[in-house]
Structure 1
Amino acid sequence: MTQTRPPQKDAYDMILEAIDIGIYKPGDRLVESELAERFGVSRTPIREALQRLETQRLLERDGRSLIVASLDHNQMAELYVVRRELEGLAARLAARHATQEEIDVLRDMVAADNKLVNDPSALSRANRRFHVQIHLASHNRYLVQQLDLVHRTMALMATTSLAAQGRGEIAQSEHQGIVDAIAARDEDRAAQALKDHISIAFMTRLKQDADTRERH
């Protein structure tokens, strides 16, 4: 019997994941040869991946070099406005279309993630999985695509709002409220709960940025 190998990630996915988990941070320079060596692929797919990331504005030019892009205050505000509306729509559609199995998975995620509130990095990864699960439960492929782009751009933020003191516990409570509304098939409550969740995360991030500026 022939064994099938799991599909390998391509260069684009590997670079994007490295940015997402903070191996490469805003302002870091990306060098083709170093990336090829790190990921064990040839320079051609690396070059193509870098071009794609530059087109998506996740990378930007610094002279002849490509660096991980950063978001200024206005860009971050614009991103959160779009994210709030799209995430709210995803929750609304999830309340309408999610299967019982999808709702059960969301409940299990919240329960498991409650154990991560003192580990901002792990909770941040779990938070992304939770939100993606809601996107998928919306059963709208075009909305999922747009939210995927938004979440890729979120990777350009050097810190997570979940690192703020006490934010992990509060965010988890908000997640529970979102899931309860979806389970109750209350579309308006689900949408508003998720939009409020994003607004609070944005305010938390603004406070983090203000504190950083004050220290410097």
Structure 2
Amino acid sequence: MVPMLPARAPALGDQLAAVLRDLIVRRQLQPGTHLVEDALAAEYDVSRGPVRDALRQLESQGLVESRRRGFFVIGLSQDDINDLYELRESIELVAVTRAISQVSDLQMREGRDIVAEMIACADRADAAGFAAADMRFHALLYRAGGNRRLLDVWDAYEPVFASLMQLTVEEDVDLHPSAHDHGQLLDLIEEGDADKLRAEMSDHLDGARARMGRAVHALIQDESGEVAS
């Protein structure tokens, strides 16, 4: 038997990017904020190399931009949420449709296990665990679809969706309906009805888009001192 390699901890740049990404999505780092490399390195006790790596990642995800004096926070607007979900729907509908003919028995079992994990997280109101399982479920759909180019696009933007997901599941009183929706997607893959599956996935993503849009809208209103409607 080939020995298993130990799990490798995420690189410091990846870890710092995750921290900054959550702060940006939650608008704790405001749009327009100047991200100074030396200051970030001192605050997080890392060298400037991981800071540069983190800022480049965030730039590729559209959360910061490079200007003459360094990197500045862009943040996420309502239009950004719509753009992200328009992209996601366009690729995920293809992936899930391909999964009807491509998915393996092992992947179906993995999907059922993830849904069971989501239900268990809902039972104990574990929002963080639920969000992580939700992301793994959708990554599985891309793998099951068998198009690695689609998976590459998902991998590029998954960290942003993960931060948004964490923000919205914290607001959900009951996570069980969402968990069962994911189980329904697996049922439709097994049934092989592509039209019904695409319609269900579109509804699923539209619901996620609406919840995330409301969450970001509330954060923006809180900044301006307005009362969220």
TM class, shorter-length: 0.7 to 0.9
Query: 138, 146, 160: which is aligned to 1:139?
Result: 146
For 1:149 and 1:48, the matched residues in 2 are separated by 15
Q: What residue in structure 2 maps to residue 201 of structure 1?
A: 208
Q: What residue in structure 1 maps to residue 132 of structure 2?
A: 125
Residue 102 and residue 44 in structure 1: after superposition, are their counterparts in 2 closer, same or farther (change >3 A)? same
* Unaligned residue ranges in structure 2 (runs of 5+): none
Q: Which amino acid aligns with 1:215?
A: V
In 1, are the aligned partners of 2:41 and 2:51 still within 8 Å (CA)? yes
Is residue 58 from structure 1 mapped to residue 63 from structure 2 by the alignment?
yes
For 1:179 and 1:86, the matched residues in 2 are separated by 18
* Unaligned residue ranges in structure 1 (runs of 5+): none
Q: What residue in structure 2 maps to residue 10 of structure 1?
A: 11
Secondary structure of 1:82's counterpart equals helix
Q: What residue in structure 2 maps to residue 83 of structure 1?
A: 88
Q: How far apart are 1:93 and its partner, in Å?
A: 1.3
For 2:139 and 2:198, the matched residues in 1 are separated by 15
Q: TM-score, normalised on structure 2? A: 0.76
C-alpha distance after superposition, 1:114-168 (max 9, x if no partner): 0112222221121111111111111111000112223233356496332334452
Residue 86 and residue 167 in structure 1: after superposition, are their counterparts in 2 closer, same or farther (change >3 A)? farther
Is residue 44 from structure 1 mapped to residue 49 from structure 2 by the alignment?
yes
Residue 105 and residue 157 in structure 1: after superposition, are their counterparts in 2 closer, same or farther (change >3 A)? closer
Which aligned pairs between 1:131-210 and structure 2 lie closer than 5 A?
Answer: 131-155=138-162, 157=164, 160-166=167-173, 168-209=175-216
Q: How far apart are 1:80 and its partner, in Å?
A: 1.3
Q: TM-score, normalised on structure 1? A: 0.80
Q: How far apart are 1:109 and its partner, in Å?
A: 0.6
Query: 99, 102, 106: which is aligned to 1:97?
Result: 102
Q: Which amino acid aligns with 1:111?
A: A
In 1, are the aligned partners of 2:78 and 2:216 still within 8 Å (CA)? no
Is residue 215 from structure 1 mapped to residue 227 from structure 2 by the alignment?
yes
Give me the CA root mean square deviation. Answer: 3.2
Higher normalized contact order (CA 8 Å, seq sep 6+, divided by chain length) = 1
Secondary structure of 1:94's counterpart equals helix
